[in-house]
């Protein structure tokens, strides 16, 4: 390995959600601007990492499994012989505690280190001590009143914010035709099972001009679809004085030259207003796709979660969506085995799922999470029972989403090609009702000359579980050409 005086090579590994992926591309931009050369490691800690002086691991700290994955990745990175630096949610959440328990990491840095990360890596390779991050509840760093936050946030490091259209501090880490675009960070909700607000902070929106500028930059750098991410997209604009800001932003994003599809994620059902439903369901260039965080449908369980809604109100929302767009994609996640959940509660959830006929559902079993209110709730469900309920609901979901996919046979869909046909892989992509990685894909039957980034009008000819088999009709031109 070359000496620090002659080599500044860094590998960047990312765990967790699309928001973390955006943060990694910000870090990549900051590091290259600071004189560091990026080493491509692919998806593995040891893939090419022998060429790196430092491996930066952007960790996830959401649930226990994600924490374990983060530790495993940090340990694997240290096995390469490179210096290892932990950043991201796990590092932000635990800071010095993680550093004490993981001596393999040369530094554990929080979000406030991001602006000067290049300099901190210089310290690491030079053998200078870097003080580990000291965690705080990041909700306390901004005013309680949302409209007072925009100026206050200027003095706080909020990953993904502050990029100007003329100077985007971001470097794409792949050549995929879809790219995540952060519209806000943080969350003001107090769900009893979730610790994210404590380490991601209070809700802060990015300005429309900043988002539009980054969308244009992404289009210039190969993206045809932008995937809007945040902790809670339905809150977008409340700190800018306009709770309908997202409704106004969507058509402007769809009009950006080169962007053919805009997708919204992370919607809170209780905050999803009719105007936003209409904007997503009917605006040309916006995917009629609804990523709705139902979590459960029993009123008693939802109240214990500090959430709002019911089976009937959620079914009404589904009906609103399908009245405007019958083919709209709707996905959700649900938690089973939450403290106090009864068999009647579970049956209510099953009734909702059966009647809603959603396109994709993630089923998760409840487990205690550090620092959450639910950790201290009474009437915990036995872990074995939780496992049984996960299996039961998962079986139901598999049947329901397979039937929903089967119902699309004969429909036309527009598919964004993401994988060319090879010996190992079919030519495939995603239709408007399918988000990256989580909602299945469209496999093109006997493709003719298709390449990654093509947008293709297709007809659905079969369904295989949640996946669709399609035949191509025509390749569509890129917007603005």
Residue with structure tokens 């190992």?
424
Domain architecture of the chain: domains with CATH:
9-135 (3.40.50.2300), 140-407 (3.80.30.20), 411-476 (2.40.50.140)
Supply the pTM of this predicted model.
0.91
Structural element, H or E, at residue 204: strand 204-205
Say how far apart CA 395 and CA 306 lie, in whole Å.
27
Identify the band that residue 399 occupies on the pLDDT scale cut at 50, 70 and 90. Answer: very high
Query: If you average pLDDT over every residue of the chain, what do you get?
Result: 91
Q: What does the pLDDT look like over 121-172, one tens digit per residue?
A: 999 999 999 999 999 988 888 888 888 887 777 777 777 676 554 555 789 9
Angle at 370 between CA 72 and CA 146, to 5 degrees: 110
What pLDDT sits at residue 150?
Answer: 78
**272 and 193 in contact (C-beta within 8 Å)?**
no
When pLDDT is cut at 50, 70 and 90, the band that residue 65 belongs to is: confident
Range of lowest pLDDT (14-23, 61-70, 132-141, 200-209): 61-70
When pLDDT is cut at 50, 70 and 90, the band that residue 5 belongs to is: very low
Q: What is the pLDDT of residue 4?
A: 44
Annotated binding-site ranges? 17, 60, 89, 187, 191, 194
Please give the angle made by the CA atoms of 306, 311 and 312, to the nearest 5 degrees: 120
Looking at residues 464-479, what average pLDDT do you find? 94
Ramachandran quadrant class, 240 (left: phi over 0; alpha: psi -120 to 50; beta: rest): alpha
- pLDDT mean over 44-69: 77
Structure token digits, residue 40: 């491509």
Coil, helix or strand at residue 54: strand
Q: What is the average pLDDT across 273-286?
A: 97
Q: What is the mean pLDDT of residues 46-70?
A: 80
Phi/psi for 399 (5° steps) reads: -65, -45
Average pLDDT over residues 335-341: 98
DSSP string over 380-444:
PPPHHHHHHHHHHHHHHHHHHHHHHHHTTTT-EEEEEEEE---SS---EEE-TT--TTTS--EEE
Taking residues 77-86, report their average pLDDT: 93
434 vs 155, more confident: 434
Cβ-defined contacts of 401-406 (< 8 Å, 24+): 401/358, 401/359, 401/360, 401/361, 401/465, 401/466, 402/463, 402/465, 402/466, 403/357, 404/357, 404/358, 404/359, 405/359, 405/440, 405/463, 405/465, 405/466, 405/467, 405/468, 406/463
User: What are the binding residues for [4Fe-4S] cluster?
Assistant: 17, 60, 89, 187, 191, 194
């Amino acid at each position: 390995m070359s000496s620090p005086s002659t080599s500044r090579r860094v590998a960047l590994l990312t765990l967790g959600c699309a928001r973390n992926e955006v943060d990694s591309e910000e870090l990549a931009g900051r590091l290259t601007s600071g004189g560091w050369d990026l080493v491509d490691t692919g998806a593995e800690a040891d893939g090419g990492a022998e060429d790196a002086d430092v491996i930066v691991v952007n960790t996830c700290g959401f649930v226990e499994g994600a924490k374990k994955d983060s530790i495993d990745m940090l340990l694997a990175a240290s096995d390469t012989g490179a210096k290892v630096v932990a950043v991201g949610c796990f590092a932000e959440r635990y800071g010095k505690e993680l550093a004490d328990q993981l001596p393999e990491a040369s530094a554990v840095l929080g979000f406030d280190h991001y602006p000067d990360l290049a300099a901190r890596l210089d310290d690491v390779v030079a053998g200078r001590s870097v003080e580990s991050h000291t965690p705080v509840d990041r909700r306390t760093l901004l005013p309680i009143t949302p409209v007072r936050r925009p100026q206050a946030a200027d003095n706080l490091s909020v990953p993904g914010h502050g990029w100007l259209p003329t100077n985007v501090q971001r470097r794409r880490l792949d050549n995929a035709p879809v790219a995540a675009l952060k519209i806000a960070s943080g969350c003001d909700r107090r769900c009893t099972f979730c610790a994210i607000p404590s380490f991601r902070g209070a809700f802060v929106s990015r300005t429309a001009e900043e988002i539009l500028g980054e969308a244009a930059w992404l289009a210039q750098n190969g993206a045809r679809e932008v995937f809007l991410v945040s902790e809670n997209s339905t809150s977008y604009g409340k700190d800018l004085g306009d709770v309908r800001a997202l409704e106004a932003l969507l058509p402007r994003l769809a009009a950006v030259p080169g962007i053919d599809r805009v997708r919204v994620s992370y919607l809170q059902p209780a905050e999803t207003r009719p105007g936003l439903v209409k904007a997503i369901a009917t605006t040309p260039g916006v995917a009629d796709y609804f990523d709705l965080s139902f979590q459960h449908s029993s009123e008693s369980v939802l109240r214990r979660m500090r959430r709002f809604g019911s089976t009937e109100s959620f079914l009404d929302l589904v009906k609103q969506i399908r009245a405007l767009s019958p083919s709209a994609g709707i996905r959700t996640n649900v938690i089973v085995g939450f403290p106090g959940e009864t068999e009647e509660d579970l049956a209510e959830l099953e009734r909702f799922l059966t009647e809603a006929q959603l396109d994709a559902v993630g089923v998760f079993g409840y487990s205690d999470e550090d620092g959450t209110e639910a950790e201290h709730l009474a009437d915990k469900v036995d872990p074995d029972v939780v496992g049984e309920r996960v299996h039961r609901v998962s079986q139901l979901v598999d049947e329901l989403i397979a039937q929903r996919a089967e119902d699309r046979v004969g429909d036309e869909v527009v598919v964004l090609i993401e994988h060319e046909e090879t010996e190992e892989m079919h030519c495939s992509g995603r239709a408007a009702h399918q988000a990256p990685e989580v909602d299945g894909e469209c496999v093109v039957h006997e493709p003719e000359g298709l390449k990654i980034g093509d947008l293709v009008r297709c007809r659905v000819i079969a369904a295989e579980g949640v996946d669709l088999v399609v035949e191509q009709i025509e390749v569509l031109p890129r917007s603005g050409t």
